[in-house]
Every structure is written in C-alpha cells, then in structure tokens.
A = this chain, B = another copy of it.
C-alpha cells in the first residue's frame, strides 16, 4: 500500500475533517493537536504520520473545506440556469451550508482569513493560496453573471462591471455572515439577503425582459 493508497488518503481526510471541526470551534492558536487527535479518535502523534505539522494540517483542512464548498457551488449551478436564482441559492449556502452546528464552515473561513492577514498567522506567508481561492470564487460569480448576459437573461451593460458586482456580492455576503455570527438572534439574515437581492436583481436584469424574468422580484417589494 503506497503513500497514496486510498486507505491512507481516507484517514488523512478523516483527520483533516476533525481538524476542520476543531479549528472552527477555537481557531488555530487555541486548538491543540491533542484535541484534534482525540476528536479524530487517534493518538496525538498519529497526526504526524499524515501531516508535517500543525500548519500543514490547517492548510489541509482549508483545502478540504474549499473543495466541499466549490462542489456545492457547482451543484447549485447545475440545478438552475437562472442567474438570479443561482445567486440566491449561493447566498443561501453562505448562511446554511453544512451539517455541523450552525456557522461552522463560515467561522472556519473567517479563521482562515485571520491567519492570512495577520503577521505570524499560519497563512501569512502563503497568502497567495488564499488569494487564489478568493479569485476563483470571484471568477465563479462573475461567470454566472456573464453567462446570464450571453444568454440574454441579464442586461448587457453589466458585463463590464461583472467583477465589481461579484466582489460586491461577496463582500456583502461575508459581512452579513459575520454579523449573523455575532448577533445570531437579533438579525434576520435571510430577510437581509432577500432585501439585498431584491435591489440587486433589477440592476442586473435587462430592461425589456423585466416583465418576464424580473417581475417576480419587483413584486416582492411592491406587494
């Protein structure tokens, strides 16, 4: 059984998953490898059979989380061709995307960002990896918009601003999730997202097709 045997790779994933859970709960610094090991049901030193050190394990967890995340995005894009709907479902996924206690994946991604932006963070010297993921996500959103344009679903005039819109969308979602994590009760996140998309949609939609594609969105506000 070589080093890439499915059995071995499977265990590595198990560990990364446990790490993901624990890093999410307490962040990078406050999570001990001992905790991760016991959470994975293995001995502490076994981790080192699969990962060089704590940072590598963290990065593995990041990769795993990203993979899962992008897989879900892809599924969403396969389910509908309506760009507005796609954004809606992606937004939904931001706030409700996993089996664990609410906000697990989100907290984890914020932890990753923190480890990226602070000196001495686990990712500070590998920020390009996170940047790469970020760009990939922006491109994904942008492509949804451009596909909408090329199919005549969206206003052609937004094409030149596709990236800006994507970044705005992501910014809003990130900030929204952050607020919801802090104020889990006070804020009605779904309503907020609906509110945001209700105002975003008309900007995206074509004038002449508005009645067909966009009427339902507009109605929301007017009813």
Residues on A facing B (Cβ under 8 Å): 24-30, 103, 107, 110-111, 113-114, 116-121, 127, 130-131, 134-135, 155, 157-158, 161, 164, 167-168, 170-176, 178-179, 181-183, 186-187, 191-192, 195-196, 198-199, 201-203, 205-207, 210, 212-223
- Which among A179, A192, A195 has the highest number of chain B CB atoms within 10 Å? A179
Question: Would A135 and B222 be within 8 Å (CB), given that A158-B213, A175-B172 are in contact?
Answer: no
Cβ–Cβ contact B118 & A30, under 8 A: yes
Cβ–Cβ contact A118 & B27, under 8 A: yes
Cβ–Cβ contact B210 & A120, under 8 A: no
- Closest B residue to A116 by CB, please name it: B182
Cβ–Cβ contact B223 & A220, under 8 A: no
Q: Which residue from B28, B175, B215 sits with its C-beta under 8 Å from A175?
A: B175
- Closest B residue to A173 by CB, please name it: B175
CB distance from A122 to the nearest CB of B (A): 10
Query: Bound state CA distance, A168 and B171, in angstroms?
Result: 10
Cβ–Cβ contact A217 & B192, under 8 A: no
Cβ–Cβ contact B117 & A183, under 8 A: no
Query: Bound state CA distance, A134 and B178, in angstroms?
Result: 11
- Closest B residue to A222 by CB, please name it: B223
Cβ–Cβ contact A202 & B220, under 8 A: yes
Cβ–Cβ contact A214 & B218, under 8 A: no
Cβ–Cβ contact A131 & B207, under 8 A: no
The residues of B that contact A158 with a CB separation of less than 8 Å are 213
Query: Bound state CA distance, A223 and B215, in angstroms?
Result: 14
The residues of B that contact A195 with a CB separation of less than 8 Å are 161, 164, 168
Query: Bound state CA distance, A168 and B178, in angstroms?
Result: 12
Other than the known A155-B214, A202-B218, A205-B214, what 4 A-B pairs have Cβ atoms closer than 8 Å? A25-B120, A117-B182, A171-B171, A206-B214
